[in-house]
Structure 1
Amino acid sequence: MNGRNSIVLEKVHLELESAAGPVNILRGIDLSVGLGEAVSVVGPSGSGKSTMMMICGGLERPTSGRVEVAGKDLTRQSEDQLALIRRDHIGIVFQNFHLVPTMTALENVAIPLEFARRDDAFDRAAEGLKAVGLGHRLTHYPGQLSGGEQQRTALARAFAAEPDLVLADEPTGNLDGDTGRQIIDLMFDLTRDKRATLLLITHDPALAERCDRVVRLVDGRIVDDGRSDRSAAE
């Protein structure tokens, strides 16, 4: 890392309205993630982990605070500008794969590349699928793939445009243990090879510890950003 950050959150709040009144989802989040750093985010269900990730991806807007990703202040961007930032800088892996069921694996991986108007979109998509061990499944639809194969396809799509930042929300949540471990090994390999920053949401303590730093979120607040433990160890 060269001293710059991939993610900076400053005093980020998110308040949503409900029938019972306002609900505070995030309560003043301060977080910085360095370039090339792998950071896991852990905490109880409902603590705001996935919401924080959505804000980092420009998929949710905070009520207040500053959100900077890849040098861009997301709070100042239009929806179209946010879409371009995601296209050029961010790859996202969801627990439920989020593949388009009417498109083949090759077409699913090519989506962000076509959005970027890459002439070699399908060639690069094929290379990406081969890199995750699915070179023989290019023309298969999601319904013809196992859960592990669908998540491999989702990984290939997330890394297709060589993003600066990868956001992964419980990427093994719908997979069995062995398949999940294979997917995680693959994700870390791809992150290292592409020199990308990783923000990983997980309930798995062992998986969290594979990252450079573990951030703990409770009731919408960061109670441990992982820096003090690391400093003490050093």
Structure 2
Amino acid sequence: MVQPVPPASPVVLLRDVHLKLESAAGPVNILKGISLEVGAGEKVGVVGPSGSGKSSMMMILGGLQPPTSGSVQVKGHEVTAMSEDDLARFRRDEVGIVFQAFHLIPTMTALENVAIPLEFAGAPDAFERAQASLEAVGLGHRLTHYPGQLSGGEQQRVALARAFAPEPALLLADEPTGNLDGDTGRQVIELMFDMAERKGTTIVLITHDPGLAKQCDRTIRLVDGLIVSDGREAAPRVAKA
């Protein structure tokens, strides 16, 4: 008798996550009990008004901000139980992050910028993998260019290449097209989704653009620190020929 295959564990698992921070006016409740599951390879768009807790949730997922309470698991790792050294290794090995600002080191070439996380991980082939990642985003001819010599779209492609080079399980993207014009932004998002599909990477994408969110498999909406809707209402993307 063939045994049923058990379902894969979610890459992201949040359980009753709260975040309370102190301010000059007193404590501020930013997240008020977030629970969320995201499966392997899933692309989730996160929308909501400014101040709703979207970026705070992303910082918690990336191990950059500890929650006040609750459970945060990424690929089976209980993030809240990690030491600072464990968190650094976790971010290096399991999480890629792309921000609205490109965060490239201006004195390093595109190749050097992408090779940095691989070198930190001790990869002996860091520069070979960095070159392959840049070629995958169409920048094989820009390896020796510095950020100041690249357009905004090219700089964000370098940031994508850097995020994907270590082959993370989870990519966190916070308004990745915010500094780009419409056409360039669409190209960057298409590239990001295509790379994620090839590598099986899970994406959590924060955006103010409802059209962009609808390109994801699923959209969740945060309001005042709570998830108020969670639906698979996105239209499917058209695959390239």
What do the CA deviations read for 1:15-34 (whole angstroms, capped 9, x no partner)? 11111000111111011101
For the residue of structure 1 that corresponds to 2:11, the secondary structure is strand
Over aligned residue pairs, what C-alpha RMSD do you find?
A: 1.5
Determine the structure 1 residue equivalent to 2:239: none
* 1:76 alignment partner, one of 77, 81, 84: 81
Q: Partner residue of 1:66?
A: 71
* Alpha-carbon distance between aligned partners in 1 of 2:190 and 2:232, rounded to the nearest angstrom: 24
Aligned partner of residue 91 in structure 1, secondary structure: strand
1:195 aligns with 2:196: no
Which secondary structure does the structure 1 equivalent of 2:154 belong to? helix
* Aligned residue among 152, 174, 182 for 1:177: 182
Report what 2:168 is aligned to: 163
Q: Does residue 223 of structure 1 match 2:228?
A: yes
Structure 2 residue runs of 5 or longer lacking an equivalent are 1-5, 236-241
Q: In 2, Cα distance between the equivalents of 1:20 and 1:74? A: 30
**Amino acid corresponding to residue 156 of structure 1 in structure 2:** A
**In structure 2, C-alpha distance between the alignment counterparts of 1:6 and 1:145, rounded to whole Å:** 34
Aligned length: 230
Q: Which runs of 5+ in 1 are unaligned?
A: none
Structure 1 residue ranges (4+ consecutive) displaced by more than 2 angstroms after TM superposition: 227-230
The one-letter code matched in structure 2 to 1:45 is S
Aligned with 1:212 (options 203, 217, 233): 217
Cα deviations across residues 68-106 of structure 1 (Å, max 9, x unaligned)? Answer: 001100000011101101111111111101111111110
Cα deviation, 1:111-136, whole Å, max 9, x if unaligned, reads 11101111100011011111111111
* TM-score w.r.t. length of structure 2: 0.93
Q: Secondary structure at the match of 1:81?
A: helix
TM value normalised by structure 1 = 0.95
1:23 paired to 2:34: no
